[in-house]
Amino acid sequence: KKNTFYKVDIVVIGAGQAGLSAAYYLQKFGIEAGKGFVVLDDENGAGGAWQHRWDSLTLENVNGINDLPGLSFEEAMKENPEAIRANQAVPAYYSKYEKTFHLPIIRTVKVLNIKEQKDRFLIETNGVQFSARGIVNATGTWKTPNIPHLPGSESFKGLQLHTKTYKKAEDFRGKHVIVVGAGISAVQLLGELSKVTTTTWVTRRPPDFRPYEFNPEHGREAVAMVDERVRLGLPPKSVVSVTGLPITPAIEEMLNNGIMDRLPMFTEITANGVRWEDGQEMKADVIFWNTGFKQNIDHLKELNLVSEKGGVVMAGKAATQVQKDPRIHLTGYGPSASTIGANRAGRAVAREIIATLELKKV
C-alpha cells in the first residue's frame, strides 16, 4: 500500500565498497541490523559497479583492490583462487563479505526520491517505502556516465558508446575507433583496441604523464586535493585529474608505436565522423567516450544539497558529512571514491552519524 513504510534509524543506499564499509562499522558500533539500519541496493547481486566491469579488467591490471574492514580479499578468495577477472573476483569477495557479517542488504530496491518529513526522511523506492532519521548515500558513479554533448551528435551514423557499455575489443575489429578521454580507462582500452583495429586518440588537454614508480606521497596529495575541493562545495574531480597518468611499460610501448599520438578535441560530429575547429575531418565507425562518470545523487534532489559551486559542501573527518544537514552522509563521493578511501570513510561515517542522531556513545 502507498502509505505503509518500514521504519529504521539509518538507511544506507548502495551496497558497493562504500556502502558495505559503512554498514560494517554501523553494526560494529552496535546499531542493530534490520531495526537500526538497512542497506538498499538496486542490483540483483553483490559487487556494486564491479560486477559490470569489462572482462579484460583483471586483478593484474586494476589499480588495486583494497580490503574492506574485517575480512581481507585474500582470506575471502581462498575458496575461489581461480577468479582473476575483476568482474568475478570482486563480486565474489563482496558476496562473501555480506554473508560473513550478516549485513541487512535488501535487493532489489531502487531509491527514487527522498523527502523530509517532520524530523525524518521518507525514502521512496520502487518497492517498500522507508522512513529513517539518517541517510548514508553510497550510490557510486557507474550509473551516471558523463558524455559531452557536441553539435551534430544525433546525425552520426556509426556507433557511440561509453566506457560503461564496453565489453570487448573484438567487437570493434575492422572499424576505425576514435577514443576520447585522458583517464586510465581511456588509455587501457585504447591499448586493447589498437591491437585489433585502427584507432585515433583524442583528449581535451595534453595528457599529464608521470613516472611509473608510484609514490604513495603523491597518492595522499591527490586525495587531499579532492578532499579540499569537496569541503569547498566544488564538484569532486576524478583522481587521474590530480594524479596524472603513470607511464607504465604498456604505455611506453604505445607511445613508441604512435598509438598515443594524441589529437585535440574535435568540435563537431558529422554523419560519418568528426570535425575539428579548423575544418579538418576524420571518418570514424565508432566514437568511444571514455569521459568519466558523474555523481549519482539525483534521488537527493528534493533535499537541495548542491551548492552554487556545483557540488555538495562536505564536512567531517573523511569529508563524507553534508555540512548543511549532518544527518546525511555521502560516501564514495570525492576523496572516499577508491577502495582505500571507502574503507577509511566507513568508520567516520558510522561514528559521525551515530553521534549526530544520538543513537549510542561511540
Ordered strands of the 177-180 beta sheet: 159-162, 286-289, 177-180, 199-203, 262-264
Nearer to ligand FAD, 124 or 285 (CB): 124
> Should residue 192 be labelled a site residue for ligand FAD when binding is judged by CB under 6 A?
no
Nearest 10 degrees: Cα torsion 325, 327, 333, 338:
150
- Identify which range of 35-43, 76-84, 224-232, 246-254 contacts ligand FAD by CB under 6 A: 35-43
Nearer to ligand FAD, 9 or 67 (CB): 67
Contacting ligand FAD within 59-78 (CB under 6 A): 62-65
The letter for the amino acid at 59 is L
Backbone dihedral angles phi then psi of residue 215, each to the nearest 5 degrees: -105, 120
* Shortest Å, Cβ 358 to ligand FAD: 27
**What is the contact mask toward ligand FAD in residues 81 to 120, using x (rule: CB under 6 A)?**
-----------------------------xx---------
The one among 11, 12, 17, 288 contacting ligand FAD by CB under 6 A: 17
Helix and strand numbers, DSSP H then E, in the chain: 8, 21
The one among 9, 43, 67, 98 contacting ligand FAD by CB under 6 A: 43
Nearer to ligand FAD, 17 or 203 (CB): 17
User: What b/e readout covers 226-263, taking b as 16+ CB neighbours within 10 angstroms?
Assistant: bbebbbebbbbbbbbbbbbbbbbeebeebeeeebbeee
CA dist 341 and 362 (Å) reads 21
Cell numbers standing for residue 231: 569541503
Q: For residue 52, which of 167, 162, 191, 137 has the smallest C-alpha distance?
A: 167
> Should residue 19 be labelled a site residue for ligand FAD when binding is judged by CB under 6 A?
yes
The one among 191, 236, 246, 332 contacting ligand FAD by CB under 6 A: 332
Q: Where do contacts with ligand FAD occur on this chain (CB under 6 A)? A: 13-19, 40-43, 48-50, 53, 62-65, 110-111, 138-140, 142-143, 185, 296, 299, 332, 337-340, 342
